[in-house]
Each structure stands twice: as C-alpha cells, then as structure tokens.
Chains A and B, each alone.
Chain A
Amino acid sequence: MSIGQGVLRGHWVTLSRFILTFTRDFRDGFAFKRRAGGSLLVDFFQAPARGEERVVRQDAATDGLFTVEYPEERLPVYERFRMLPVLVYDDEDGNVRCTSCNICAKVCPPQCIWMSQAKSPKGTVVPLPEDFFIDMDVCMNCGLCAEYCPFDAIKMDQNFELANYERHQTHIFSLQDLLVSSAYYSKTHPEAWSGAEETAERAKVAKKKDQRLQKALGGVARTAAKASPQAVEA
C-alpha cells in the first residue's frame, strides 16, 4: 500500500472543514456565547433555561461541521412536525370537539385508539366521548387520525421529550391526559389555525356539533321538565 496524493488531498479536505467550523463560530459570534447565550464569561458554563435555548437553523448557507448541541441548542420545530395525538377542546365553551364518531380508531394503522361514547341519563347516545384511550407505545405517529378527523378534534402534538420511568400504565393515555386547549393548539400550529381551510371548518363543525348536542341534550331537558311536575304531584 502506498500513501500518496489521494490521502493528502483527503487530509486537506478534513483540515479545511475543521478550520471552517471554527471560523464560522467566530464569525457568527457563537464561539463564546453558545449555551446560555449571554455575554458574560460565566454564561459559557451555564446551560440556558428551558425554553430559552438557541434555535439552530440549518439551511443551504450553513457551512463547517454543524452539530446541534442539544439540549442547549435546538432545531426549529416545524409546524407540521408530529409526535403524539392530542384531543382539542374549545376554550370558549370548554367543549371537547370530539364527537366519538370512531373514524380515528377506524383509520389508525396500528389500531391503538379506542373510546366509549357518552350516554345521556335516559340512555340515548350523546356525541361526546365518555372516555378515550390511546396506547402511546403502539402509536406510530403517522398522523392519519388527525388528518381524517371530521371534527378537527384530534391533532398531532409536537412535544417529543417523552422520557418516562414507567411504561405500563402511564403510556395508555386517557381522555384527561389527551386534552389540550384550542389556545395551545393555535400556538403550536399558527399557520394551520389561521388558514382558510381550518377557519371555515371550525365554523362548520361548531354549528354541526352544536345542533347534534342540542338534539341529544334537548331530549334530556324535555324529559326532565316532564318528570318534575309529576314528582310534585306525587
């Protein structure tokens, strides 16, 4: 084996990359203010507070070796980035958007969603979930449930830091674990929230759901009203 030009040329490539990486850090001013982001010397040794991390954007102009020093630095979270499903409830009236129509469970490829529909005291069905379960260990984060939910109720969350000590009970999320407010969703998905499609859908769905809810609960109210005079008579 002879070592000649090829190896030397390879070393030149690595050397230039090495230099480029450090000049990039000096040029952009990140060499000393990584981590905490402040200008004091001590900031170099401090970790930034949660939520204060520098977001590193990688684009066509990025050069040198780029390493994102997670968790002190982070990659941007894109709006469509999806991890686990959540159920949205509306802030205005506190109503869960889900009507327990079961389409998400039908379309879920690993079949990790199951739910039970709420019943009125009379025994008729109410378009609300009584309970809603997702086995988060089985979920494969494909997002089909969110895509095909006709009531805009199930959405994909972006929280990916999900380390946990126990996985047998805590990873089967029930309704209470899944609920997030529409304010939270509008914050994580600003584009989709303000998009024409979802705005129109929201209005349509709210109306449709309201009608169905009135119908289901109206029946209860009427029977209750009927029942009370009898009780008085007795």
Chain B
Amino acid sequence: MGPQHPSTHGVFRMNVRVDGETIVGLKPVMGYLHRNHEKIGERNTFLMNMPFTDRLDYLTSMGNNFGYALAVEQLMGDEAKPPERAEYIRVIMAELTRVASHMWSVGFLLNDLGAFFTPALYAIEERELILDLFEWASGSRMMCNYFRFGGLAADLPPGWIERCRAIVEDRIDRRIDELDRYLSGNEILLDRTKGVGILSPEDAVNYSTSGPVLRASNVPYDVRRAAPYGIYDRFEFAIPTGRRGDLYDRYYIRILEMRESVKILKQAVRQIPEGPIMAGKKSYQIKVPAGEAYGRVENPKGELGFYVVSDGTSTAYRYHVRSPSFINLTALERMCLGHTIADVVGILGSLDIVLGEVDR
C-alpha cells in the first residue's frame, strides 16, 4: 500500500496482506529517508550535533534539542547546570512545541479520515502563532537550534514574553475548546474512530509504545512525571489517559494533553525569573568527560531518548536515538488486524509518525 499520508510522501509504505478488504497482516516498509543520523552524530562534535537533532522530528525541534541537551549535560555534570531562567524558557518552549505538534496531529488525523482542509487549517492557525514565537526567539520556525549545553543560544527578545502570555493566557484555551466542539462530538468522526485500532494496555506496554499512544490505552506513564527532568517537578499538571485505546482515545488524549500543556505554560509564564541564560561561557569546544548518559524527554509523540557515550574526545563515541515514532510503529500491525484498508490510513494517522524520526 503506497504512500497515502502527506507525511509519508514516498518514504513509507505498508506491505499489507488482505483478505478482501480485511487486513490479515501488515509490515511497515521504511528506510527510504535514512540519513545516517546516528553515525553522523559520531563524526560531529557534541555541539555540531544540535542542529541535526532538529531534523529528526521536524515538528518538535525544540523538544529534540531538549533531550539531546539533557543527555550531554548529564555527562558534563554540575558545570553545565542551566540557570533558572533558562530552565523556564526550556519548559515554555517544550510545552509550546507540544501544543503545536498536537494541533498538527489532530488536524492531520482528520485529513487521514477523509476531511482535509477545514480541521487541519483551523488547527494549523494556532500552530502558526506558536511558530511565530519560535521564529522570533530562535530565528527559525522549524529548525530552531535554540538549546545549548548549559542554557540557550539567546535570551528571549523584548516583548516576546508578553505576546506569549497573551497567547497562552486567553487564546489557546478557547481554540482548543473550539476544536473540541467542532470535532469531538461529530458523528462521522465517532463512527470512523470508536472501536477502531484498539491497543490493549498489555500490548501497548509490551510493544514499548509511549506518548499519547500508550496513554490512550489507559497506562498513565509520562516521563515528565516518571522521571522529571528540567524543572517539571515544580508544575502542576495531570496525566490524562484514555479508556479503551482506540483511535478516538488517541485523538482525544491529544486534546486533553494540550489543555495540560497550557496549564504548565500559564504557570511557567507567570513565574519566569530574570537572570542569565547560560551556565559558564559560550564555547564551541565543549569538554565532555568520558562516560555514558541517557537523556530522555516526553516529546509530543512519546519518549524521546538520546544515548550518548563519550570517551573524553571532542566527539561522541556512540550516539543512539530512541525515537517515539519508530517504536510506536511496531504496534501498527497489532492495531490494524481485522480492520479494513480505509481504517489503516486512520490508524497510521493516529500514531502521528514523522518519517524523519523513523528512519533517522
């Protein structure tokens, strides 16, 4: 089954075994976008790798930066502990990323279900405003390259926090409500999604899925709570879970997660302190002691981990990425068995894959 999803334009296909219209077997076929990310990461110095992480999941580049920065900061120890303000900005950026990514995924799930344009465009509008913020602060809408080890590349420009506050405090909530009102009760959507692509909690855990896919199957696992990083332990937020683990739950969990993100954002934007944004001096040659580290973050699509082994030289000895899109794909066959071809498209959409992260 050829490329049918806008994000799988010729880089992903599914080998589907069918009995009439019913799926009896499915193998994802990937590797068309392979760019040797991990091997290049072993050639690059630690800093040079930062912009490459943007290109993994290009919808969540701030989150990718965060994970990689955490991994290397773990190796560097206390000297690379980001100052307070940097920690707050990191959380704000990561949560804005989550809203932007979930907006995109909700919009495009509807596209997969056959309703292109209106839902996607409504969702993308809010994403646009967030990307404007990213562009203003970091210089780029998608490939932000904003985090540095021990801090950030640049402080927020004047006026940034005010606009962010205006968007967070009284806009996004209303827009999520509208999206919810617009889609969640729609009978056609319910008909296409309820009871489709069920993943049981046991299966979800056994396939090591993460993120909204896992939580939709009623497993309340979130890295922000299970192993808090940055300053996430200071914020109040809930971990929403679905009940049945079907396509509808995976859609609705994203709406709920956006609301929780807005909650975190409101707290962070109110509490953000003044101060420096970098620990130590900015340097392109970073001293990374020998050792190994695994930095992980709860990215919008699931747990994103960076495993870095350093032998004390300027480059990583081993660099590996545990990417959520790739691992969530392993459960695809399980979810599709017994359903029809048309459902497969929706189920793939509910995983919210980005092939840049699958093939790396």
Contacts and interface: CB of A to CB of B under 8 A. Distances in A.
Interface string B41-65: 0001101111110110000000000
A157 B186 CA distance: 47
Interface in A1-38: 1-7, 9-10, 13-14, 17
B135 interface: yes
A130 interface: no
Interface string B95-137: 0000000000000000000000010011001001100100111
Contacts of B139: 78, 80-82, 143, 156
Contacts of B183: 10
B267 to A, nearest CB: 18
A60 B182 contact: no
A10 B136 CA distance: 34
A74 to B, nearest CB: 13
Given A60-B166, A60-B167, A144-B51, A6 B190 contact: yes
A109 B52 contact: yes
Interface in A69-99: 75, 78-82
Contacts of B50: 109, 142, 144
Interface in B254-303: 282, 284
B278 to A, nearest CB: 12
A44 B121 CA distance: 26
Contacts of A131: none
B181 A9 contact: yes
A165 interface: no
Given A7-B186, A80-B136, A80-B138, A65 B181 contact: no
Interface residues of A, number: 39
Most buried by A among B145, B166, B171: B145
Contacts of A79: 157
Contacts of B154: 80
B178 interface: yes
A204 interface: no
Contacts of A107: 45, 47-48, 284
B125 A81 contact: no
A141 interface: yes
Dominant secondary structure of chain B at its interface with chain A: helix
Contact of A13 (B47, B167, B181): B181
A144 B47 contact: yes
Contacts, number: 109
A143 B50 CA distance: 11
Contacts of B225: none
B187 interface: yes
B188 A109 contact: no
A2 B143 CA distance: 44
Most buried by B among A103, A141, A143, A156: A143
B135 A6 contact: no
Contact of B44 (A9, A60, A109): A109
Interface string B167-189: 10011000000100111111111
B129 A81 contact: no
A156 B154 CA distance: 15
A147 interface: yes
B188 A60 contact: no
Interface in B172-224: 178, 181-191
A13 B178 contact: yes
B129 A59 contact: yes
Most buried by B among A13, A75, A78: A78
B163 interface: yes
Contact of A9 (B45, B171, B185): B185
A108 B135 CA distance: 21
A212 interface: no
A6 B138 contact: no
A109 B190 contact: no
Contact of B145 (A5, A59, A106, A143): A143
B157 A144 contact: no
Contacts of B186: 6-7, 9-10
Contact of A78 (B49, B136, B167, B282): B136
Interface in A49-67: 58-62, 65-66
Contacts of B163: 59-60
B188 A13 contact: no
A82 B181 contact: no
A106 B135 contact: no
Given A13-B182, A142-B51, A7 B188 contact: yes
B140 interface: yes
A75 B132 CA distance: 9
A191 interface: yes
B153 interface: yes
29 contacts: A3-B187, A6-B185, A7-B187, A9-B186, A13-B178, A13-B181, A13-B182, A58-B132, A59-B167, A61-B166, A62-B129, A65-B121, A75-B132, A78-B139, A79-B157, A80-B135, A80-B157, A81-B135, A82-B139, A107-B47, A108-B48, A109-B50, A142-B50, A142-B145, A143-B139, A143-B140, A143-B145, A143-B153, A144-B48
Task: List the 9 closest pairs (A to B, CB-CB), nearest first.
Answer: A142-B51, A6-B185, A60-B166, A80-B139, A109-B48, A13-B182, A82-B139, A6-B186, A148-B284
